[in-house]
Chains A and B, each alone.
Chain A
Amino acid sequence: MKLNRRTLIGAVSATAMLAFGGTAMAQDYPTKRITIIVPYSAGGATDILARQVADGLSQVLDETVTVENRPGAGATLGTTQAANARPDGYTLFMGQVSSHGIAPAVYKNLQYDPVEDFAPVKLIMSIPNVMVVNKDSPYQTAQEFLEAAKSENMTFGSSGVGSSIHLSGEMFKARTGADMTHVPFRGSGEAVPALLSGDVDVMFDNLPSAMPHIQSGALRALAVTTPERSEQLGDVPTLDELDIAELDDFAARSWFGILAPAGTDDAVVATLSEALDEVITSDSFKKFADTRGASIEGGSPEDFAKYIESELSSWKTVVDEAGVTVE
């Protein structure tokens, strides 16, 4: 039924396209409004980034670029809709570690294929996750924490099942055999206060939401989860460089990138890729990334495609190790 309807709409719109001659020719792309689908509600980290990108993109392309929020089912709902959108370059998707890294490993019956259904355009930026504890916590280093966690139960907060924050914790737990209980919240905004008040012991939060509290001294950063140290937190070690064998090569980070539905004209993808390069190298975007402890990525569409493949396989490993799946 669903398929039938979609085919029907496709057929009707194809006829309409012929009739009205509104075919998107790559040469004069864009000629009308571009929409970026965000699979989260307005106001979240992904949404704010998308709006920043949309603002920059509309200046570079000289065409309105709007953000459309389609939240639900841990980002998978909006992603499915983006996968089924018409590949004419006028519907783009704000992909992130959840939709194109974790969800395919966690959800058993996903309605989209992260590789087959999308044409990657550009990796925009990435942010490290940071292992933080309350300032009054007795643990000064990740080693001390780990020692304690082997003998007594610890709780770790997250922004929800299947988030990179949750899975970083699961990865830590699975690798080290620490005794840790996952306490899910609905978004980082709810989880951080629980860490601040000491209700949960540790969190592998995204750096932007933890940063202000690290700066004010309310939270103590024990380690970052990326292979390299973060520029903003130069003196905080990575989990990899710690002298703990189980944590070697520990790498978990959140990233964001623009994708188009599969089948989008290569020339359109190239135009968008160039425009996005201009956006992310602008001063205002640099300032935007700096304030949230993010690093600007960039690279070609092919690089992004490879990156997604590597992310998919590494999260798959984590999920298998940790034994987290969702029906």
Chain B
Amino acid sequence: MLENIATGFEMFFTLGNLLAITAGVCLGVTVGAIPGLTATMAVALALPFTFNLDPVTGILLLVGVYKGGVFGGSITAILIRAPGTPAAACTLLDGYPLAQKGQAGKALNMALYASCIADFLSNLSLIFFASLIAGLALAFGPPEYFWLICFSLTVVISISGSSLTKGLISGLLGLLTSTIGLDLVYGTQRFTFDNFNLMGGVSYIPLLIGLFALPEVIDFYVRKVAPFTVKTADKSRVSLAELKSSLVTIIRGSFIGVIIGTIPGAGATAAAFLSYGEARRTSKSPETFGKGNIEGVAASEAGNNGVAGATLIPLLALGIPGDVVTAVILGAFMLQGLTPGPLMFQDNITIIYAIFIGIMLSSVVLLGSGKLAIRYFARIADIPRHILLPIVLMFCVFGSYAVQSQMFDVGVMLAFGVLGYIMMKIDMAAAPFLMGFILGPLFEDNLRRSFLISEDITIFFRSPICWIFIVITILSAFVGIRRELRATRAKRDALRSGSA
């Protein structure tokens, strides 16, 4: 074993590998930061470069791009409310209000620290517990998935904003939007009305950009005064005390990320929102979430970066890719003549160790290049709004087009932009809509798959995992609703005593 690790070290420590990780992370951060260009796209772009590289170098390049991309998405989410990647949508809930208060630097740094810590913990669990928790990936059949998604949906209660009923309506509308397209089981049309572009469903990157970034642009032109005066030379930093108080949140978020990452298909977005919901639930001042609470940024970034290392667990241990990115990485392994899975641990253990060492190092590289990126990207906040917003709009259009090279998606982005603006005006939170839209297909698919596998309804109660999630779903919904109702009553009481 030690011998293998030593050989792994030897294999890893080459200039090429160090360069590959650094270049990968930097490319990932840049591409991830641009709305519409996702971590997945960045990894696919880097793939051809790995054809002629040594296996370890090639894989590390891709892993670097992936990790950089996951963090990069948060930069524009915080600065201009345009999430670079879907998972960063949660980060903007508190990151953007912080930027509006002139604390963009603080939000960005917290996002980076939370990302790096979560990434590191995620890598540790990959290395030490891979074989232990890989089994989790197979323990989740359709019914278990169904309950996991039900539990995730209860987070909608926490992110509903000022009105619970409106938040729930928003979430339901998101779920409803996710049903557009060809039906999974029968292949029949749902709400496509023979429009060919809708057959594959509403693509979620244009929806995401439209829903969050565009309303800010529209609002700027309709309001009387610019919504926030720019604080130049933003010197806000994360204090040690803030980091310390967020540490529990970060660690909890990381573990949520690791668990969600290990289960194939659940994804970073769900992890980010779950972690955020948990942070708000356990917070002493939940009402400050959504208005610029630094812990909110820490929670969501920890959640989504916690996924990054863990998605490699089912890939390396079982040969199952958990998402599109790991599918590309699987492809890269196969191109190199390596097959991830139990056999690789027997035959190519030194390569695995070399990759592990590189992955551990990638957290450190992420910290360094993230710092650098923040320094330059943070200047975006110094650009006057009337110049910045037209450019933001341009990125929204280019980015939406880039997803499928289609003008139709630009239309989708604009349509959801208008919807987002209306929602903003009637005080309806947009985050539940996104949550519903992303979890909708998982919810419905697994519900229907369970029915296909067994005609008996008892399949939904077949395992301890089902029961665990049933219990925490009910608890979470009950506690969440009770808390929101209490908060509303408290507000009413305050109002009454104020006017009396």
* Interface residues of A, Cβ cutoff 8 Å to B: 41-45, 47-48, 51-52, 54-55, 68-74, 76-77, 80-81, 106, 109, 111, 155, 160-162, 181-187, 189-190, 192-194, 196-197, 199-200, 208, 211-213, 215-216, 218, 284, 287-288, 291-292, 324, 326-327
Contact = CB atoms under 8 A, between A and B. Distances in A.
Contact of B324 (A42, A183, A215): A42
B187 A69 contact: no
17 contacts: A42-B43, A43-B327, A48-B47, A48-B331, A69-B44, A70-B404, A70-B406, A72-B197, A72-B200, A181-B452, A184-B184, A199-B142, A212-B339, A216-B319, A216-B341, A291-B334, A326-B188
Interface in B176-229: 181-182, 184-189, 194, 196-197, 199-201, 203
B200 A292 contact: no
A106 B186 CA distance: 12
A205 to B, nearest CB: 13
B337 interface: yes
Interface stretch (B133-141, B289-297, B489-497): B133-141
Contact of A197 (B51, B138, B337, B341): B138
B16 to A, nearest CB: 19
Given A47-B44, A73-B182, A193-B264, A216 B342 contact: yes
Contacts, number: 153
Contacts of A292: 334
Q: Specify which of B197, B328, B445 lies most central, judged by the most chain A CB atoms within 10 Å of its CB.
A: B328
Contact of A189 (B51, B194, B327): B327
Contacts of B337: 287, 291
Nearest to A200: B453
B141 A213 contact: no
Contacts of B201: 72
A73 B200 contact: yes
Nearest to B44: A42
A216 B339 CA distance: 10
B319 A212 contact: yes
B372 interface: no
Contact of B318 (A48, A162, A196, A215): A196
Contacts of B182: 73-74, 161, 326
B320 interface: yes
A199 B406 CA distance: 38
Q: Specify which of A47, A48, A76, A109 lies most central, judged by the most chain B CB atoms within 10 Å of its CB.
A: A48
A155 B341 contact: no
Nearest to B346: A216
Nearest to A41: B324
Interface string B280-314: 00000000000000000000000000000000001
Contact of A71 (B51, B200, B441, B453): B200
B196 A77 contact: yes
A161 B186 contact: yes
Given A193-B314, A216-B319, 19 more contacts: A43-B43, A45-B331, A47-B44, A51-B44, A51-B47, A52-B335, A54-B48, A72-B197, A72-B199, A76-B199, A80-B196, A162-B187, A181-B452, A183-B453, A185-B445, A197-B140, A212-B339, A218-B318, A292-B334
A199 B141 contact: yes
A69 B40 CA distance: 12
Interface of B: 40-41, 43-44, 47-48, 51, 137-142, 181-182, 184-189, 194, 196-197, 199-201, 203, 264-265, 314, 318-321, 324-325, 327-328, 331, 334-335, 337, 339-343, 404-406, 441, 445, 449, 452-453
Contacts of B340: 212
B196 A73 contact: yes
A73 B334 CA distance: 28
Contacts of A218: 318, 342
A162 B405 CA distance: 24
Given A155-B452, A200-B453, A326-B182, A109 B318 contact: no
Given A44-B327, A200-B453, A72 B404 contact: yes
B263 to A, nearest CB: 10
Contacts of A215: 339, 341, 343
Contacts of B335: 48, 52, 288, 291
B187 A327 contact: yes
B144 to A, nearest CB: 10
A35 to B, nearest CB: 9
B492 to A, nearest CB: 46
Given A70-B406, A196-B318, A326 B187 contact: yes
B404 to A, nearest CB: 5
A326 B342 CA distance: 39
A189 B265 CA distance: 9
A73 B199 contact: yes
Contacts of A187: 327
B341 A212 contact: yes
List the 4 shortest-distance A-B pairs measured between CB atoms, nearest first.
Answer: A72-B200, A73-B199, A42-B44, A326-B187
B140 to A, nearest CB: 8
A99 to B, nearest CB: 14
Contacts of A192: 320
Contact of A183 (B196, B199, B452): B452
A314 B194 CA distance: 27
Nearest to B322: A189
Contacts of A54: 48
A43 B449 CA distance: 25
A193 B319 contact: no
B319 A43 contact: no
Contact of B187 (A71, A161, A284): A161
Contact of B199 (A44, A77, A186): A77
A182 B453 CA distance: 9
A194 B48 CA distance: 31
Contacts of B327: 43-44, 187, 189
Contacts of B41: 42
Contacts of A47: 44
B339 A43 contact: no
Contacts of A161: 182, 184-187
Contacts of A291: 334-335, 337, 339
Contacts of B140: 197
Contacts of B264: 189-190, 193
A106 B48 CA distance: 34
A43 B328 contact: yes
Nearest to A37: B405
Given A43-B40, A51-B48, A212-B341, A186 B141 contact: no
Contact of A42 (B40, B189, B200, B265): B40
A188 to B, nearest CB: 9
Contacts of B341: 212-213, 215-216
Q: Specify which of A109, A162, A326 lies most central, judged by the most chain B CB atoms within 10 Å of its CB.
A: A326
A185 B452 CA distance: 12
A186 B185 CA distance: 10
A182 B183 CA distance: 14
B412 to A, nearest CB: 12
A189 B321 contact: yes
A200 B187 CA distance: 20
Nearest to B338: A291
A42 B453 contact: no
Contacts of B405: 68-70, 81
